[in-house]
Amino acid sequence: MRPATFPPQSVEGTGLQSRLHTVLPAPLRVEPADGVEFFLTPGTTIRTTPTPEATAVGRYLAELLRRPTGYPLPVVPAGRADAPGGISLLLTDDGTGPTPDSTGEGYVLEATASGVVIRAQTAAGLFYGVQTLRQLLPAKIESGRRQTGPWTVPGGRIEDAPRFAYRGAMLDVARHFFAVPHVLRFIDHLARYKLNHLHLHLTDDQGWRIAIDSWPRLTTVGGTTEVDGGPGGYYTQEQYREIVAYAAARHITVVPEIDLPGHTNAALTSYGALAPDGVAPPEYTGTDVGFSALAVHNELTYRFVDEVLGEVAALTPGPYLHIGGDEAFTLSLDDYRVFVDRVQPIVTGHGKRVMGWHQIAVAGPSAGRVIQYWGTGETDPAVTEAVAQGAQVVLSPGNRSYLDMKYDAGTPLGKDWAGLVEVRQAYDWDPGAYLAGVPAEAVLGVEAPLWTETIASVSDIEFMTFPRLPAIAELGWSPAAAHDWADFRLRLARQGDRWSAAGITFHRSPEVPWPGTPVVPGPRPAPAAPEAPAQAVAPADG
């Protein structure tokens, strides 16, 4: 059940108190000030602690609010004796901010009739406070066009901090390629719900999506295909840097995945010498898995791995390199272990932590290793043993968090190998107590993967992502005591009007009491612009 600070509220309610209690993910503590509200006006200013990090968050907020309100909302430095009024974003360690938490991502938001103040110890905390503030404003604040007010924020105080350090989603750009603007739009979706990791599945049998200078044929050959014979594509290193920078500005860490030793047909087609028989296989545009693998006893393979991972590591400031490791069905267990045991030191040698799908648990330990569990059961002895040896776990159970699973038998997109995953199925589990032998302190966090065998457009991405992504986001952010399906479905329903205002396609789940008119998948449109201006990026080559 929800803590006592979260009284029951009705989705039909339109009062100030009901809006304060509709934030998603659920905050730690909410203290409403009944009858109090703050009005955003043409004279409102945004004041920030005069540091580049805080100022950047202020500018982000201004860009979000200027489009629908039409107000100038200048961003100015906050003074020590600032007059009341406006919106203040303050970095503080003087005891007026949030109670320190292990992530440093907590914040306190206070709204009075004279202004809104968000305090945090880090810019990330300010950013997450901004995401809460946008949910306290009317739903039409999400529109890309000018709307009429009033623009009110309910009075009260919210104190908040995340449960888990790692809260993420994965986008598979290998099965179907998605150009840079599409990825930036997906990043904005993650930011709405305080997710802080974007896992990019960059390589697979159907395509190689990142340019590697030392192995150029990976993209000039391996990047030209995708599922169903589409044109494919890939990111130049500059384009990849653009994605990383855009994510970082939203306090999201990119986790690149180079899937090894299986799921490598695009690499083998590009460089036949890496294949077990030394012969390049034909291109592959189907959706079967498990038929490809690198030559694990060939020293050229490890030179290839070292050079590829070295270039990706140099482009990626985050701490993780994901090496895949799943579904290498053509390899014996001994050969698979030989490969992973050789590759893990390569990753750490490039200054990164090893991350991989849970199959890598059978290999020897590696300092800082993260096992990503995607199974559908609640026991895995190999993962339990890896945790006993010091590994951490990110939970992505296929029958709970996979965004590519069908909602029901009639869903036009997706697969059903892990079962049908409606919203309650995605929400009703506890990552901290899910996997036997894995204590809560060994759980780094949660991730919602979206595989794209059947996903080919931005509309497809959004239809499969919403409304399940906010469910996983709440499991990652909110305390276990706040997880309550009956309450969550009401708060989730309030998000529908926001998604409609933002032009986001979503599944109108029958489990959720949505207000208003549904947004349904239609012809695949050109993607809308990202939420904040980004430097123009040329289309990917290939």
pLDDT recorded at residue 20 = 86
- Conformational region of residue 263, where left means phi above 0, alpha means psi within -120 to 50, and beta covers everything else: left
For 85, residues 6+ apart whose C-beta sits below 8 A from its C-beta are 44, 45, 114, 115
- The token duo for 224 is 């030209």
- For the chain, residues with pLDDT lower than 50 are 1-15, 81, 517-529, 532-542
Instruction: State the CB neighbour count (10 A cutoff) for residue 526.
Output: 9
Active-site hit among 37, 327, 385, 511: 327
pLDDT recorded at residue 413 = 98
Catalytic residue status for 327: yes
Q: What is the pTM of this model?
A: 0.93
pLDDT recorded at residue 93 = 80
Whether residue 435 contacts residue 393, with contact meaning beta carbons closer than 8 Å, is answered with yes
Q: b/e per residue, 481-493, with b = 16+ CB within 10 A?
A: ebbbeebbbbbbb
- Residue owning tokens 């409403």: 32
pLDDT recorded at residue 522 = 42
pLDDT recorded at residue 265 = 98
Whether residue 506 contacts residue 461, with contact meaning beta carbons closer than 8 Å, is answered with no
pLDDT recorded at residue 98 = 75
pLDDT recorded at residue 260 = 98
Q: Which residue type occupies 59?
A: R
pLDDT recorded at residue 398 = 98
Span 81-138, pLDDT tens digits: 455 679 999 999 866 677 777 889 999 999 999 999 999 999 999 999 999 999 999 9
pLDDT recorded at residue 12 = 38
Counting Cβ atoms within 10 Å, is residue 236 exposed (0-12), middle (13-18) or buried (19+)?
middle
Run of H or E residues at 111: strand 107-112
Q: Which letter does DSSP use for residue 503 in this model?
A: T
Query: Residue 13 and residue 391: Cα distance in Å, rounded?
Result: 46
Whether residue 146 contacts residue 67, with contact meaning beta carbons closer than 8 Å, is answered with yes
Instruction: State the CB neighbour count (10 A cutoff) for residue 520.
Output: 11
Q: Which letter does DSSP use for residue 304 in this model?
A: H
Residue 256: asked if its preceding bond is cis (omega within 30°), the reply is no
Whether residue 404 contacts residue 415, with contact meaning beta carbons closer than 8 Å, is answered with yes
> Residue length, the chain?
542
Whether residue 451 contacts residue 442, with contact meaning beta carbons closer than 8 Å, is answered with no
- The token duo for 80 is 């020590």
